[in-house]
Structure 1
Amino acid sequence: MASLSSSSGSMRLFVDSSDIQAWKKWLPTGVFYGVTTNPLLLRESNVACQTKSIGVLSNQALRLGAKEIHLQAWGKSSDALLRTASELASIDSSVVVQIPATYEGLRAASKLKDMGARIALIIYSMHQALLALGIGAEYVTLDVGKSPSDEESKAKMCSSVQGLVRRASGTTKQLVANVLSLDELTTCLVASSPANQANSFALTPSAIGELFADKFTEDMVNEFEAAASKNNFSLFL
């Protein structure tokens, strides 16, 4: 597997879910930098798409050790997006507001950035990365799970976007979100040169389960434990 390093910053992993039980299981491992959510994930977890409900949810993530929380704004117009985005940004300084890379989204994002909020621009194609770099977003978030491309094309897009981010020589980081499986994660890493690897990945709980699972390791641990339990020798000095 390719090296987990990047010229644009250290690797960060996120739990891509609004399920508190998933957060309770995976955040205490210390592997994950934070969590990512959106209206679809909120609906799956029966959390109202309202600032108050999301604020309560965010506090849960912080108590469980999340250092960063990515929350997606909603609204059909730039004014509506700006209003919800501002409310989300006010929840905590650890919040990064995700905004889709649409015309209305860019108008809202640029105003939000001028207000000092942290911004992630959500993209589904490589050329949209230019929009995120143009407004100086903290993250360019590539949703590979919802991308219309095939697996190989997704991997190449991850590498190409990171190439753009690296050449921009700014503070923008790429986050590859909605990673659905370990195969998808591995493909994105292997397809990239070390210089063009994405900075961060947001994995679904099912992908995280695959990441932690390794039968050979489990078998070896069982052997070690069996040997330890049968070792009754005492050493006297």
Structure 2
Amino acid sequence: MAGMRLAWLTMAVNLAAWAVSLSHAELKTPASGRLCFSSLSSSLLARNVALGQAGRRKTDMGKTRIRCSTPMNGDQEDHPLPTKRPVTQWTMPASSSKSAAAKDKVSLWKQHTLDVPAPSMTEKKGDCRLFLDTANLNEMAELLPLGIFYGVTTNPLLLERAKVPCSHHALQDLAATAFALGSKEFMCQTWGTKVDELVDNGIRLANLDSRVVVKVPLTFAGIEAASMMSNLGIRVCTTACYSPHQVITSVSAGAEYVAPYLGRMNDAGRDGMQSVVDMQKIVDGMRSKTRVLVASIRDADQLAVLAARGCNTFTISPKVARLLTEDELTMDAATDFAKSASSNSADEKKSSLGFSM
């Protein structure tokens, strides 16, 4: 029995000696050549200790990070942790009455309300840009305060109807009024029959304000003028577009907008709705930033249908703009709301808060 114990003891000693010798052996690795096994063991041990002693700290930016108290390679390493949104946890307040319980809940809600920022106006409006097509100051003053219009569009015909001279001076005053009423952009059309005339007037219009977009008709001379002005950094809208292929020309010329005339296409016997949709598909397919600015819209239904089919930029007359704010059922509902609010507010009683949440 004693001999067997001695044999087991001898075997254990030999295994221990073998392990010690193995710990000092050198292992070859393809990547690093020679690697000391004892150094590797020490590094792994140090890493485990470091991870075990890892603590959290708050950075200057308020984000939680992991900080290793014994970093590897002698360098301090910070690893950001994902931040979590605080969650409101409700606890039933101990109160003898429902009114007191409700007050306690309101107080609790105020303390633990999530600080969730509202979406920005850009996020809420998406890619939509709605322009008011007029040169009439009274119509601008009436409709721009609605806050739904991105800008104002004009052309020589609208200027004539509003009895506004087609001059740089008059357009400067008109643009200033539009900007004062909240317009972000103002479009006015250059004039002339030759390229140099179109470019010269376009440059003078662009110099009025950086928010001015110069409209150019899609004639042969107009296309050349549009290209020249785009190369000069002038913002251009090619206008009087009637065919989808003209959108390709506008994109190639560097136009920021291209304005097809929906109503006039229909008047000429063409399928204006489908043509406009095709124009939008061309722009999307070419991955261009050019916007299809749909003009000559005759009613609100056309606007809604085109928006549902992917169009996002429109200019509408004051008549159509008013249609967007009117609906018989909406007016009836608003009247009912006003009556109910009036009858209830007349009998309003001052009382303590007594509701349950």
| Structure 1 residue 31, shift from structure 2 partner | 0.5
Q: How far 1:158 moved relative to its partner?
A: 1.1
| Structure 2 residue 218 is matched with structure 1 residue 105 | no
Q: Which residue of 2 aligns with 1:34?
A: 151
8 Å contact kept, 1:154–1:188: no
3-state SS of paired residue (2:264)? coil
Whether the 8 Å CA contact 2:192–2:198 is kept in 1: the answer is yes
Check 1:180–1:148 CA distance in 2 against 1; reply closer, same or farther (3 A cut): closer
**Matched residue SS, 1:147:** helix
- Structure 1 residue runs of 5 or longer lacking an equivalent are 1-8
Which residue of structure 2 aligns with residue 236 of structure 1? 351
Task: Name the residue aligned to 1:3.
Answer: none
Structure 2 residues without counterparts, runs of 5 or longer? 1-125, 353-357
Structure 1 runs (4+) greater than 3 angstroms displaced: 148-152
* Counterpart check, 1:182 vs 2:300: yes
Structure-1 separation of matches of 2:261 and 2:209 = 24
How high is the TM-score relative to the length of structure 2?
0.60
Deviation at 1:150, TM superposition (A): 6.3
- In the TM superposition, residue 226 of structure 1 has moved relative to its aligned partner by 1.0
SS at match of 2:265: coil
Which of 334, 338, 349 in structure 2 is aligned with 1:221? 334
Contact kept in structure 2, 1:151 and 1:184, CA below 8 Å: no
- Residue aligning to 2:248: 130
Correspondence list, 1:132-211, <5 A: 132-147=250-265, 153-190=271-308, 192=309, 197-211=310-324
In structure 2, do the counterparts of structure 1 residues 60 and 23 end up closer, same or farther at CA, with 3 Å as the change threshold? same
Deviation at 1:145, TM superposition (A): 3.0
- Secondary structure, counterpart of 2:187 in structure 1: strand
Tell me how far apart the structure 2 counterparts of residues 151 and 161 of structure 1 sit (CA, whole Å). Answer: 18
Question: Aligned with 1:140: secondary structure?
Answer: strand
Q: Over aligned residue pairs, what C-alpha RMSD do you find? A: 1.6
Q: CA deviation at 1:152?
A: 7.6
Task: Please name the residue that 2:130 is paired with.
Answer: 13
**2:215 aligned counterpart, secondary structure:** strand
Q: Structure 2: which amino acid aligns with 1:216?
A: L
Q: Is the 8 A contact 2:261 2:295 kept in 1?
A: yes
Contact 1:37/1:71 (<8 A) preserved: yes
Contact persistence 1:16–1:178 (CA under 8 A): no
In structure 2, relative to structure 1, the CA distance for the partners of 1:73 and 1:146 (3 Å cut) is farther
Q: Tell whether the 8 Å contact from 1:152 to 1:187 is kept in structure 2 after alignment.
A: no
Structure 1 distance, partners of 2:332, 2:350, is 28
- Matched with 1:5 is none
Residue 207 of structure 1 aligns with an amino acid whose one-letter code is V
For residue 74 of structure 1, what is the aligned residue in structure 2? 191
SS in 2 for 1:213: coil
Cα distance in 2 for residues equivalent to 1:171 and 1:127: 17
Which protein, 1 or 2, shows the higher relative CO under an 8 Å CA cutoff with sep ≥ 6?
1
Match of 2:142 among 13, 22, 25: 25
Q: Deviations over 1:132-189 (max 9, x none)?
A: 0111211111122333556881110111000010111122111101222213323433
The answer to whether the Cα contact below 8 Å between 2:295 and 2:314 also exists between their aligned partners in 1 is yes
Q: Which amino acid is 2:348 matched to?
A: F
**TM-score between both structures, scaled by the size of structure 1:** 0.90
Partner of 1:56: 173
Contact 1:19 1:45 in 2 (8 A): yes
Q: Which one has a bigger Cα radius of gyration?
A: 2
Distance 1:172 1:181 in 2: 25
Q: 1:212 aligned to 318, 325, 333, which one?
A: 325
